[in-house]
Amino acid sequence: MPRIRPFRPGDEPALAEICLKTGDAGADATGIFADDDIWAEVFVLPYVARHPDLAFVLETDDGRVVGYVVGTPDTRAFEDWFAQEWWPRFADRWPRPESEATRQDGTLIYAYGRRAGAEPYGDTHPAHLHIDLLPEVQGQGWGRRLIETLLAALRERGVTGLHLVASSENAGALAFYRRLGFRPVPSHEGVQAFAIDLA
């Protein structure tokens, strides 16, 4: 039986692999980008670097990490930190593209554009999360339990609301968040944002 435990240093490679294997609207994203490492450096590793205490993993009996939830209590502060401290380290490795010719270009342009206030949801629901589970543990209630674990930690800190964004193409995720009580909010093209009150 898998178990949920707090993130600990050394989990990063497993989280990066899960992020890659679920990055294409829930499907395996291996090979979509010229460099597979981009997925994790944008969508999971910055969170465990800044908020390791708000990261939880799903671990199997044999010690494999097969899922995670990561988050930040303050999206505005996180996005400023991402722009000023985290992402500049990759400028030489992944220069800012001139145009969005490929999906990799689009993700890099997104990463370069992250900043406080870029997304409106953080004003009323300041926290946000990312969650991914490998197919072998999907549909068993672990996603719900991971999110509930993070929401409890955020409530303990007095955080009043949380948002998240999913690909419009990921029908399973869209239905999942609705079942957990998240409500859809106005969103950019290609994605659907959800919000939930914590207070």
Tokens 């450096």, located at residue: 41
Task: Please state the pTM of the whole predicted model.
Answer: 0.94
Per-chain mean pLDDT for the chain: 95
- Domains in the chain: how many in total? 1
Domain extent at residue 74: 3-158
**For residue 12, pLDDT beyond 90:** yes
Instruction: Quote the CA–CA distance of 60 and 48 in Å, as a whole number.
Output: 20
The CATH number of whichever domain residue 95 belongs to comes to: 3.40.630.30
Instruction: Quote the CA–CA distance of 106 and 161 in Å, as a whole number.
Output: 28
Residue closest to 131 by CA, chosen among 53, 23, 30? 23
188 inside domain: no
Tokens 């708000």, located at residue: 54
168 inside domain: no
Q: What are φ and ψ of residue 169, in 5° steps?
A: -85, -10
Here the tokens at position 158 are 């007095």
User: What pLDDT, in 10s, does the model give residues 55-104?
Assistant: 999 999 999 999 999 999 999 999 999 999 999 999 999 999 999 999 99
